[in-house]
A and B are shown apart, each in its own frame.
Chain A
Amino acid sequence: MNVDRITEKLNILADAAKYDVSCASSGSKRKNENKGLGNASNGICHSYTEDGRCVSLLKILLTNHCIFDCAYCVSRKNNDIQRAAFTVQEVVDLTINFYRRNYIEGLFLSSGIFKDADYTMERLVRIAKKLRTEHNFNGYIHLKSIPGASDELMNEAGLYADRLSVNLEMPTEAGLKLLAPDKNQADMIKPMGYLKNAIIRRTEEKKLFKKAPIFAPAGQSTQVIIGATPENDSEVLQSASYFYKNFNLKRVYYSGYVPVLADSRLPALNTSVPMVRENRLYQADWLMRFYGFKVNEIVNDSQPHLDLDIDPKLSWAIRNMQAFPVDINKADLQMILRVPGIGLQSAQKIVSARKFAKLNWDQLKKIGVALNRAKYFIICKSNEFERRDLTGSNIKQFILATSQSKYLKNTQAQLNLF
């Protein structure tokens, strides 16, 4: 093995893949069969980079040679950078050896498009196949669906991969047209649509025949870049909601645009990464998927942007004061989930615990409720509760005064007096 060459390739092709933020290694149920290597279950983050993102999979491009010229992408055709390509065997060896040392949960393999879609997809599938069939590898494999790849290849990909993803890149088709003139949304949606139907069909088969093979058990995901084009949060979340509903996506990732390229169509190179906006979008995404919120309740035409200084649940609550206060000891789970400062686990615990006895403030605090926010919106077994008739904006001010907002923390630098 030529260590220097492999090191160089790994550096180039990991660097090029890192703007793909998908990191999940959960949602699969692949077991270790016949004393092989590995399994995929709940997802483990094995390490964290200095920017605080998790490292779960060996995330690399097969190659950064690309025939496309998408403005936002470091690997675009006209960008003057070092190019490299792994061989199939090199990717297999890296995956197996990293996995055996417990560095990773598996492989995330993407690629620049070389020659054409099918040619590229075929290489990706070949690596997954080799890992599964020759090395009895049962760890997690996430493959990129290359836009425009044939149904036959997508079918094969589904047989070996745990998760597949196509990146929509831009939240709207107009944004895509502007920055990625070579791509069109129809090509992206085609493999997504094929996989969605194939997953449904295979899941039905699996119910009837236990021996039927598992097919992309961790489903599909996608990614949209935030802040490169002028879409507002409402457009971003409406689009996410559409894809969750129509393509049964497991996740939509929001990737704050990191300015790496000078281009008149893009934000300037010194623009800061919209990290708080990205964070608020994820919070809104969680509200849609786990807290029973409809997208229109979070953003709509009169509220096209998420508040940056407070989280979207609190933002919804202060716009809807008529829904509060909520009686913790009586309200149903769905309503308790809507209280700012109460998360999924706390809500479950409250509903379980109140069957035994009514809960008071101390107990709620012990259970894990963030009372500094929740106290304005709930009553419990206590004579003490918020008696003032506060408006939404009063509450917002009180909460901001007693806590450190991510927004302020990230924008205001501490000034030195001396």
Chain B
Amino acid sequence: MMTTLIYDGTFEGLLTAVFEVYDRRLDRVNLQKTDLGTDALFEDKLQVVTDEARANRVLKGLKQKISSMGVQRLYAAHLAEMDSDANSLLGYIRYAFDSVLNIEEDYGNRFVMRVSEIVRMVRREKHRMEAFVRFQKLKDNTFYAGVEPDFNVLPLLIRHFKSRYADQKWIIYDLKRKYGLYYDLHDTQYISLDFANVGKPADVIAAFTEDEGIYQHLWKNYFTSVNIPSRKNTKLHVRHIPKRYWKHLTEKI
């Protein structure tokens, strides 16, 4: 009998679902984030109630089966928020628990391979954000950047930006997911901003320091100057910077 597990989409929820699988000795399961409301005849449905204690037990057990790098990779894969792949993550964890050996490099296994693919996609997006964030300097000396990454990668960006821009206050705001990171010269925290009152473009420009416009202008000029027209290769250009990122790139606006 197939059991459908419905969880809240969090990493703890995923780990709790693993707990349920072993606690109830389930075999064939289907993990999904939302209840699709379909009741198949030969199907059980189970609502997974996220439980931190249970999640921690699973995490502890998992750490004995795979390396801490492996756990981090699973977390990165989870940040992809790909509903259809919740089962791949669950499958990976079950495979890890059921094997005697560490299975992290068993790329012949479909779960391991799929997780490796998802991790690659998420890491690429993380790397793109490290490249494509464009800060603008505000009057209070905070550097602000708006982004719209394909995946929810802000949590993966903290370490990079904190160690690089240690001496300036900065905000990286995910406009799609409506939350951001704020670094106040000591620590980073998650914030949410209210953009309701800053509709007019003039208000936004008024918030910048005077030299912000100058450096944006210089950067755009530089970007044009380094191009070699006789080597034009638009296909390669767009492959490296897909068009969806352009609206937040100073040099491409």
Q: Residues of A with Cβ closer than 8 Å to B?
A: 1, 3, 6-7, 10-11, 14-15, 17-19, 31-32, 35-39, 44-55, 58-59, 94, 97-98, 100-103, 136, 256, 258, 272-273, 275, 349-350, 352-357, 359, 363, 366-367
C-beta contact mask, B206-227 vs A, less than 8 Å → 1, else 0? Answer: 0000010011011101111111
Which chain A positions have C-beta within 8 A of B106? 352-353, 355-357
Contact A367 B226 (CB under 8 A): no
Query: Is B230 located at the chain interface by the 8 A CB criterion?
Result: yes
Partner of B225, one of A14, A44, A47, A275: A14
Contacts A102-B133, A102-B134 given: A97-B211 contact, CB under 8 Å?
yes
Contacting residue for A366 out of B107, B130, B218, CB 8 A = B107
**When chains A and B are docked, how far (Å) is the Cα of A353 from the Cα of B101?**
13
Give B113-167 interface residues, CB cut-off 8 Å to A.
113, 116, 127, 130-137, 143, 145, 163-167
Check A275–B164 contact: CB distance below 8 A.
Answer: no
A101 & B219 in contact (Cβ 8 Å cutoff):
yes
Q: With an 8 A cutoff between CB atoms, is B67 at the interface?
A: no
**Chain A residues with Cβ under 8 A from B116's Cβ?**
349
Partner of B105, one of A14, A18, A35, A355: A355
Does B168 sit within 8 A of A, measured CB to CB?
yes
Q: Which residues of B contact A101 (CB under 8 A)?
A: 134-137, 143, 215, 219, 250
Q: How far is the CB of B238 from chain A (nearest CB, A)?
A: 9
Residues on B with beta carbons closer than 8 Å to the beta carbon of A17:
226
> A363 near B107 (CB under 8 angstroms)?
yes
Whether the pair B136, A32 counts as a contact (CB closer than 8 A) is: no
- The reply to whether A49 and B221 contact each other, CB–CB distance below 8 Å, is no
Contact B240 A45 (CB under 8 A): yes
Contact partner of A58 (CB less than 8 A), chosen from B130, B145, B165, B222, is: B222
Query: Contact between B225 and A52 (Cβ–Cβ < 8 Å)?
Result: no
Q: Identify the closest chain A residue to B224 (Cβ).
A: A11
Residues of B within 8 A of A355 (CB): 105-106
Write out the residue numbers on chain A whose beta carbons fall within 8 Å of the beta carbon of B229: 50-51
Q: Which of B67-118 contact A (CB under 8 A)?
A: 101, 103, 105-110, 113, 116
Q: Is B243 an interface residue (CB 8 A)?
A: no
Partner of A52, one of B108, B185, B236, B251: B236
3 cross-chain pairs, A with B, having the tightest CB-CB distances, nearest first: A52-B236, A352-B105, A353-B107
Q: For the complex, is B241 an interface residue (Cβ under 8 Å from A)? A: yes
Contacts of A354 in B (CB 8 A): 108
> Known interface pairs A32-B166, A101-B215, A352-B107. Does A50 touch B237 (Cβ–Cβ under 8 Å)?
yes
Shortest Cβ distance from residue B218 to the other chain A in the assembled complex, whole angstroms = 6
CA distance A313 to B156 in the complex (A): 37
Q: B residues within 8 A CB of A3?
A: 214, 217-218
15 sample A-B contacts, Cβ–Cβ < 8 Å, listed by A number = A3-B214, A14-B222, A48-B237, A55-B223, A58-B222, A101-B135, A258-B228, A258-B230, A258-B231, A352-B107, A353-B106, A353-B108, A355-B106, A356-B109, A357-B108
- Contact-residue bracket for chain B: 35 or more
CB-contact partner of B233 in A15, A46, A51, A54, under 8 A = A51
Contacts of B251 in A (CB 8 A): 47, 103
Answer whether residue B234 sits at the interface, using C-beta atoms and an 8 A cutoff. yes
Determine which of A1, A45, A256 lies in contact with B214 in the assembled complex, contact meaning CB atoms within 8 Å: A1
| Chain B residues in 8 Å Cβ range of A48 | 236-237, 240-241
Q: A1-B214, A349-B116 are in contact. List 18 more A-B contacts (CB 8 A).
A: A3-B217, A11-B221, A31-B163, A35-B167, A47-B251, A48-B240, A50-B227, A51-B231, A51-B237, A52-B236, A98-B218, A100-B135, A101-B137, A101-B143, A103-B134, A352-B107, A356-B101, A367-B107
**Do A273 and B230 form a contact, CB below 8 Å, given A45-B240, A353-B105, A367-B107?**
yes
Residues of chain B contacted by A47 (CB below 8 angstroms): 131, 223, 241, 249, 251
- Verify if B25 is at the interface (C-beta below 8 Å from A): no
Closest to A359 in B: B108
- Tell me if B232 is interfacial: C-beta within 8 Å of chain A: yes
Whether A275 contacts B109 in the complex (CB less than 8 A), given A46-B131, A48-B237, comes out as no
* B107 touching A18, Cβ below 8 Å: no
